Amino acid sequence: MDKQTQIELEAAAFRRLLAHLQENTDVQNIDIMNLAGFCRNCLAKWYLAAAEDKGVEIDYDQAREHIYDMPYTEWKEKYQR
């Protein structure tokens, strides 16, 4: 497999993971953290770090909005128990 195809597959898998998490708002971050050792906030931090590595300027709130598909405060109000 060439490098570009690998990158495209990894990106597609990441987008699917985000969609899955966005569709399953009943799954709380603490549940994910206890089972998998990471949560939506971890994904946002990894996304932010990747952006910084590429010289893309975003902040943590923007990264979380990308992961949650809405502002974090809105997600908390709607879905966090």
- Give 19-78 pLDDT, tens digit per residue: 999 999 999 999 999 999 999 999 999 999 999 999 999 999 999 999 999 999 999 999
Residue ranges of the domains in the chain?
Answer: 3-79
How would you label 1-37 residue by residue, b for 16+ Cβ within 10 Å and e otherwise? eeeeeeeeeeeeeeeeebeebeeeeeeebeebeeeee
What per-residue confidence (pLDDT) applies to 81? 87
Provide the residue count of the chain: 81
pLDDT bracket for residue 16 (50, 70, 90):
very high
pLDDT top residue among 70 and 81? 70
The domain 3-79 belongs to what CATH superfamily? SMc04008-like (1.10.3340.10)
Place of tokens 């971890």: 42
0.95 surpassed by pTM: no
Under a CB-based contact definition with an 8 Å cutoff, are residues 58 and 48 in contact? yes
From start to end of 1-81, where are the E strands? Answer: none
